[in-house]
Structure 1
Amino acid sequence: MAEDPDFWAERLVKQITSQKRRVYVCEGGWSPSGYFHIGNARPEIMTPYSVYLKLKEAGFKAKQILFVDDFDPIDKIPAGIPVKKQDEGKFIGVPCVFAPSPFKGYKSWSGYFTSQLTDVIEDFGFELEIQSSFQNYKSGRMNDLIRFSLDNSSQIVETWNRISGSEKPLGFLPVVVTCEGCGKSLFSKTTSWDGKAVEYECKCGFKGRVSPMDGRAKLHWRVHWVANWIVNDVAFESGGKDHFSSGGSVDVARALMQDVFKKKAPFQVPTEFLNLKGAKMSGSLGNVFGLKQWLEIASPDLFRFLFFSYKPNSAIDFNVSDNSFILLNERFERAERIYYSEEMAENEKLSRKQANAYSLSVVGRPSKKRPLRIPYSFAVQLVQFLNPEKQFNELTNLLRQTGHIKQAPSKAQSLELALLFKRARKWVLDYAPEEFRVSFSETLSPEAKAAISSEAKSLLPGLSKAIAGAKTADEIQQAIFNTAKQNNVQPKALFNAVYLALVGKESGPRAGLLIIGLGKGKCVKRLVEAAA
């Protein structure tokens, strides 16, 4: 089960292909003035990628482009970047492609920030072309459009003002020159165009005359946007919902495309924000979560599932530091079971939706048989008392005891398990809330001992002997339950006593699993101590 005729991108393909093209280009764009984060990935990669996939499935030639606007000037230093206040002037206003890298080992500012994306993008299974804005200008691809825009600047201004309600002067020229004096473009203003060269002046005091072609100038970003549609023959594009307000940048760009450049604008879909802990992510403010960070704690498949399971117009509030991250993993694991017909959703339509989301999420193609899957929440428990780097064999033996695997894992499965455990441990150490953290209490605190009820305490000596004789986690779990029932004590009271004695809390992972993981001998000794 995988096809979902109601999938939003499936329906959109019919509209897009009504405009005949040899190749259907799906595009997103990003400025490398700060970090590329998973909030950027939603409108600029995932929404176009969804349409790209469905175009290919329908038999059309398609291409996906991520347009990196490295010709964009730096307007602020992102939080956390090691640039001293007195040195900010070396960066502010300089195009990203020319500004020095804030870290050693990279040729430029854009080189560093773009590498944070390109280093890992293939891991997520995307088939996209990453295109440099500056190279498009430098190579001459934009020259004809620069000339056209300057020759038709009055019509551009009239259309812009009419749609946006702004009052740009009729003499406004929509190109920005990189100043030959200070090397910055943020503070220069183009004052004239004679058909061959532009004159400009910069706030640094420099005035000059230069040809705007071949990378010496860039179109104003609203006109640049339209020019990029034209040079790449873009069929589909997404963007953050803020661009789609009435009279906003999308309305202006579409009007310029139609009224000035006399071409049809691409199909566009607004995409809601992916918020981090309730706030919009911002590469300049530093409240971001990047693709490299994602791979440290979760799989690329889960990343894709996060977006494929929502429509673009649905807001997503992402928090890696609470239970919602565990729930996301559980939703993915359930979708997998539905895809392999091991479970059904509440109705057939929802089952199709979940199966389709899973099918699209798997990098490559889903295997014919359901892959070995250890629940992430279970892995989170295991790695807190067994170090996967040092105790991998103990972990796999425990998985056999609990029935999660029936035989020794293959080499490929072992690699997958090792990666899962590594990611789960990273999440526990860096992000997990306190209620998910469990560790053996090196000393039995007076407070924990006092919190154990007298009736439960009286059962601990006998329970200790039963645990010592048990061989598996299930046998230990059953021993605790049986000891309580045989002595007319509520099982919860005895389980609470075990947790208080071992981890200083009234609850925790499955007790039998916890005791096996921590070590039976150590736990038996502690229970005897708690009974004294």
Structure 2
Amino acid sequence: MVHNSEADWVSRFADDVIAEAERRAPGRAIVCASGISPSGAIHLGNFREIMTPHLVADEIRRRGLECVHILSWDDYDRFRRVPQGIDPAWSEHVGKPLTSVPAPPGSDHPNWAEHFKAPMTAALAELGIEVTPISQTAQYTSGVYRRQILHAMRERATIDAILARYRTKVKQQEPPAGEGTDAADTADTADDGDGDGVASAGYFPYKPYCSVCDRDLTTITSYDDETTELTYVCACGHSETVYLSEHNRGKLVWKVDWPMRWAHEGVLFEPSGVDHHSPGSAWVVGGEIISEVFRAQRPIGPMYAFVGITGMAKMSSSKGAVPTPADALEIMEAPLLRWMYARRKPSQSFKIAFNQEIQRTYDEWDALERKIAGGDGQSAEIAYHRSVATAGGALPATPRPLPYRTLASIADITTGEEDQMLRIIRDLNPDIPVTSLDEVRPRLDCARRWVNTQVPDDQRTRIREEPDVTRLASLDEPQRESLRLLLDGLDAHWSLDGLTSLVYSVPKVQAGLPADAAPTPEVKTAQREFFVLVYELLVGRDTGPRLPTLLLAVGAERVRKLLGA
């Protein structure tokens, strides 16, 4: 494999990370990292935060090197706001750690964070993404970071001076939260959400959670470096003095927390979104804090662009917001979703289709598979192989990957009735028939769920129960002849390829041309008119699923009935 190919961004980052590992810490496991705040549904924009380091870590493992991909769950972040659709009474929990907030109503999970972590954890398993999860609640409350916290408090003047370089600049240049960012990347990023620690008694990079109300509405009023005695007051009225050398109910503010963890974990690669790269943001400031305070180096960290969404009809877990990986996996196979992230450099934005465009995405994927099978994959082959397999092995695949649009049409026409679906799919290629729906799963199930959740009711296909006698009576002789030619050829052409040839040949034969003649402009017009006629008589509209698929679905006997035979 050529590791310096311009198209293969994963290999190029892996080259850089391996070289940096040799320079910084030769012989040690390489650490790639992601960080996600489970403050809400973890959407397909957030997912780039995980997918980018996964691909790099996986490439490093493919080369036989030890590499760990840590996923820091920022579940000790504060609960900032009550999302739309949740009881406003949840506002009493604003300011508490996410792991101290009750899960949304009806959830089986013990708290808010676990409720939103669970579907992502399941999606990661389905996508073949191996991570080492780290709960920041567990890290902080067990005292893992105590030494780093005490060090940051001793170095608070240095940290304050670093932050001061950006405070005025940020006010002048940085847009308000949520502005200038894509809808798929604006979920709580933790950047600046907990302030930077300025208080009337001076600057403190540590924020206690109140021992009475469990919220972070606290202000440090005094701190002694020698004894580590810390006094805080809370907006709830509680005041308390603790010893920071023993206190485990608080955390470093975000702009200090992130670089502290880079140093603590020895992170060599971690990407971040556009919002983290504005003036005064945690990535920019963190690079100075890790160097001047924690005496370490910032990771290699590309900025990743937005992930847009095309069409969102009836979302499930995301409740009408931007969809999640779990939502995507309902309607597309895991290798396809992986491919969409692997084939684009992190700096390139792209869109994931939930509407009719998903059929074109699948057509492109299938065409790529055929190219690779024929030895003509070129640069796209690399992204493909990263999608269908990891260093740990191949992902599950559909044994007979029939076109997605065909499976969707069949699921639509039959309303998902399995015996009917099998009958139609078996007839697609009688020479090599599908004998069980398991041969076309999981793709069939994805296509069926797409039809059921993303296709509006007024676009669903409804086959007529009875012939349209009025329309049949109004047909002229050329129209009647076209239907006779179609019906006469059904039995001899009863397969997907055969019916495709038949429906396109009818207008040619009527024009006195051979069935396999190249169509003239006049024939193309006649073909469109013929297709419209058949659609009207079968489904009462001038369009529908591909006509050969529709004929197979309706069945020869019913086609004859509806076309007036």
TM over 0.5: yes
Secondary structure at the aligned position of 2:269 is classed as: strand
Whether the 8 Å CA contact 2:32–2:270 is kept in 1: the answer is yes
Check if 1:176 corresponds to 2:211. Answer: no
CA deviation map 1:169-226 (0-9, x unaligned): 68111111111221112x2222222232321122222222223455311110111111
Check if 1:52 corresponds to 2:78. Answer: no
Shift in CA distance, 118/265, structure 1 to aligned 2, threshold 3 Å: same
2:339 aligned to which of 305, 310, 328: 305
Whether the 8 Å CA contact 1:27–1:48 is kept in 2: the answer is yes
2:515 maps to what in 1? none
TM-superposed deviation, 1:476: 4.2
2:29 aligned to which of 19, 23, 32: 23
Shift in CA distance, 33/361, structure 1 to aligned 2, threshold 3 Å: same
Whether the 8 Å CA contact 2:206–2:253 is kept in 1: the answer is yes
Secondary structure at the aligned position of 1:64 is classed as: strand
Structure 1 stretch 141-150 or stretch 19-28: which is displaced more? Answer: 19-28
CA deviation map 1:63-114 (0-9, x unaligned): 001110111111112233xx322x1233222111111111342111111111
CA deviation map 1:43-80 (0-9, x unaligned): x2111112112222333221001110111111112233
Check if 1:95 corresponds to 2:97. Answer: yes
Whether the 8 Å CA contact 1:322–1:433 is kept in 2: the answer is no
2:220 maps to what in 1? 190
Cα distance in 2 for partners of 1:286, 1:435 equals 20
TM-superposed deviation, 1:408: 4.6
2:155 maps to what in 1? 152
Secondary structure at the aligned position of 1:383 is classed as: helix
CA deviation map 1:455-475 (0-9, x unaligned): 553326624641564461344
Shift in CA distance, 254/295, structure 1 to aligned 2, threshold 3 Å: same
How does the TM-score come out when normalised to structure 1? 0.86
CA deviation map 1:423-460 (0-9, x unaligned): 1011112113689743313456699769x863553326
Structure 1 stretch 327-336 or stretch 262-271: which is displaced more? Answer: 327-336
The aligned amino acid for 1:508 is G
1:362 maps to what in 2? 388
Secondary structure at the aligned position of 1:525 is classed as: helix
Cα distance in 2 for partners of 1:76, 1:64 equals 30
Structure 1 stretch 250-259 or stretch 333-342: which is displaced more? Answer: 333-342
1:201 maps to what in 2? 233
Whether the 8 Å CA contact 1:460–1:527 is kept in 2: the answer is no
The aligned amino acid for 2:30 is Y
The aligned amino acid for 2:24 is K
Identical amino acids, percent of aligned pairs:
25
Shift in CA distance, 259/453, structure 1 to aligned 2, threshold 3 Å: farther
Check if 1:384 corresponds to 2:412. Answer: yes
1:261 maps to what in 2? 294
2:559 maps to what in 1? 523
Cα distance in 2 for partners of 1:29, 1:485 equals 61
TM-superposed deviation, 1:338: 2.6
TM-superposed deviation, 1:116: 1.7
Structure 1 stretch 149-158 or stretch 437-446: which is displaced more? Answer: 437-446
Structure 1: runs of 5 or more not aligned: 345-350
Whether the 8 Å CA contact 1:388–1:395 is kept in 2: the answer is no
1:347 maps to what in 2? none
Name the Cα RMSD after superposition: 3.1
2:5 maps to what in 1? 5
Cα distance in 2 for partners of 1:72, 1:51 equals 27
Cα distance in 1 for partners of 2:156, 2:469 equals 80
The aligned amino acid for 1:200 is Y
Secondary structure at the aligned position of 2:359 is classed as: helix
CA deviation map 1:311-334 (0-9, x unaligned): 0000112331232x2222122222
Whether the 8 Å CA contact 2:33–2:269 is kept in 1: the answer is yes
Secondary structure at the aligned position of 1:5 is classed as: coil
Cα distance in 2 for partners of 1:498, 1:191 equals 81
Number of aligned residues: 506
Shift in CA distance, 225/471, structure 1 to aligned 2, threshold 3 Å: same
1:136 maps to what in 2? 139
Check if 1:441 corresponds to 2:445. Answer: no
1:14 maps to what in 2? 15
Cα distance in 2 for partners of 1:98, 1:334 equals 49
Secondary structure at the aligned position of 2:210 is classed as: coil
Secondary structure at the aligned position of 1:267 is classed as: coil
Check if 1:61 corresponds to 2:66. Answer: yes
Whether the 8 Å CA contact 1:78–1:286 is kept in 2: the answer is no
1:458 maps to what in 2? 480
